[in-house]
Structure 1
Amino acid sequence: MMITEHIEEIKRQLTAKGYKLTSQREATVRVLLENEENHLTTEEVYMLVKNTCPDIGIATVYRTLELLKELHVVEKVNFGDGVARFDLRFLNQPHFHHHLICTECGSVQEILEDWLMPMEKRVEHEFGFTVTDHRLDFQGVCKSCNDKAASNKDKCQAVS
């Protein structure tokens, strides 16, 4: 989906809840869409929004991000570094997507498939618990870091 289509969809979501997509909110949404893979912090969003809206304050960006979180347009996530980041929810998925978090380099990959649906159904059946959302983060070492470690190990063995 193109950025303009995403913005129109988010505008519909805001309007349905009685909110307007002001120019400042739109600039914030645009920054999130343009940097979707980066999982930006509030401060990072603010610095990027300030490029197009120099008069915007960090409090406005913070309030906009909190509103988008309340409306389930974004999720506030923490990848173990103690920093709150924002990640867009995909409109066609009933649940938030999952992440692979590398504990070596800090990279984050997204898993867009919902692998937990069978478990969710089991929880509902066995416990009578209606699941409304779920989140799954895997922590470990990414392929790139594993490849580097293996390469370094091979070099060390060749020297000995």
Structure 2
Amino acid sequence: MNPIEQISQQFTAQKYKLTPQRAAIVKVLLDNEKDHLSVEEVYMLVKNTYPHLGLATVYRTLELLSELHIVEKMNFGDGVARYDLRDDNHAHMHHHLICHVCGKLEEIKDDWLLELEKRVEREYGFTVTDHRLDFKGTYNTCQRTGCKKDKACKAVS
């Protein structure tokens, strides 16, 4: 089953419809999965398919996708809400490396916290259902070259 069909089933299970406009927004997220798009970026990309679609519709759809646990709404410290599709193949969201010099954001798909979750459950009687971990720092190449967010940087490529 393709991702759009899976998401359509999730909508139906929660008594919502995956309208063509919502499907176009989901397709933009799928096509740009590694980019962690903001609402405005999704809006600009979806306008190619639906030029009359309003920014408010994109906001509402992304909020609904977040409520339905189809996307994860996140903020990486820059004040911008970004959206990341959840992956059914993993029990938890993936982790991120965020360079505060060049702005590069890289995903870590491995779940390094399973042992910690088991310990938390054993010692505190608390079952972790999800977690997210962001590492903030600087790539070695950024430290050596002194690159900036507004300039080309070797770490970004």
Large movers: runs of 4+ above 6 Å: none
Match of 1:114 among 111, 115, 118: 111
For 2:72, what is the secondary structure of its paired residue?
strand
| Bigger-Rg structure (1/2) | 1
TM-score (norm 1): 0.87
1:9 to partner: Cα distance: 1.2
What is aligned with 1:39?
36
1:143 to partner: Cα distance: 4.5
Match of 2:54 among 48, 52, 57: 57
C-alpha RMSD of the superposition: 1.3
More helix per residue: 1 or 2?
A: 1
Q: Distance in 2 between matches of 1:37 and 1:145?
A: 21
- Cα deviation code 1:65-111 (max 9, x no counterpart): 00110111111111111111111111111111100000110100001
1:20 to partner: Cα distance: 1.2
TM-score (norm 2): 0.88
* 1:95 is aligned to 2:92: yes
Unaligned runs of 5+ in 2: 147-157
Structure 2 residue identity aligned to 1:20: K
* 1:26 is aligned to 2:17: no
Match of 1:70 among 53, 67, 80: 67
1:59 to partner: Cα distance: 1.0
Q: Distance in 1 between matches of 2:34 and 2:141?
A: 17
Q: Distance in 1 between matches of 2:143 and 2:85?
A: 28
Unaligned runs of 5+ in 1: 150-160
For 1:51, what is the secondary structure of its paired residue?
coil
Q: Give the share of equivalent positions with the same residue, in percent.
A: 64
What is aligned with 1:137?
134
